[in-house]
Amino acid sequence: MTIALIESIAREIAECRACQLCESATRAVPGEGPADAAVMLIGEAPGAAEDISGRPFVGASGRLLDALLQRAGLDRSRVYIANLVKHRPPDNRDPTRAEIRSCQHFLTRQINAINPRVIVPLGRHAAKYWIPNVQIVRHHGQLYHVDDRLVVPMLHPAAALYQRSTLPLMEVDFERLGGYLRDGFPTVS
Ligand code: URA
């Protein structure tokens, strides 16, 4: 049932022409992972490698993400990975607010279908979706309760590709997430 729903959302995403991103993109990148994933990771938008393959986080950021997931004791095959925006913005520019808004209903429906306990937004744009006033450089790795879900915003893996000094921060955050998943999340008021 859930798989059929996720597949039908993916088909709608593939056909979506609601903003101009579909004109320059090669294909849509709906997301991938098990329909019953307890953890969902949300990036910003597909990059060049994702645009070609149709799969999220398969380029350099994706390889780093895989390594960070391992630090959390998570295999990529156990988590659902999606993006705020489902088509690649030209030249990897940031998605505009209008593009994020027009794509938002797809992500909301994916989350409702998968019903993950934990959401891990990657980077500032994704984090703002759940925590509007977030300052990602200050609040990364912290635990939030939003709409009955646990939200743990992280620095975007791409940040570590151009600023290596951020990598240890990400490693610590993912290790802490792994600890929460293993031993239980602390209660948050
Ligand atoms: N960066 C993202 O935010 N998402 C991807 O899928 C790839 C790189």
Reply yes or no on whether the pLDDT at 189 is more than 60. no
pLDDT tens digit sequence for 41-80: 999 999 999 999 999 999 999 999 999 999 999 999 999 9
3-state secondary structure 104-120: HHHHHHHHHHHCCCEEE
Cβ-in-10-Å burial (0-12, 13-18, 19+) of 148 comes to exposed
**Residue 184 domain flag:** no
Is the Cβ atom of 116 under 6 angstroms away from ligand 1?
A: no
Structural domain containing residue 87 = 2-179
Q: Model pTM?
A: 0.96
121 Cβ below 6 A of ligand 1: no
Domain presence at residue 48: yes
CATH of the domain at 153: 3.40.470.10
Give dist(CA 181, CA 79) in Å, integer.
12
CB 83 within 8 A of CB 44: yes
Q: How many angstroms does the Cα of residue 189 sit away from the middle of ligand 1?
A: 32
Is the residue at 187 inside a domain?
no
pLDDT bucket at 126, cuts 50 / 70 / 90 = very high
Asked if residue 50 has its Cβ within 6 Å of ligand 1, the reply is yes
| Ligand 1 site, residue 47, Cβ cutoff 6 A | yes
Retrieve residue 115's tokens. Answer: 């019903």
Domain total in the chain: 1
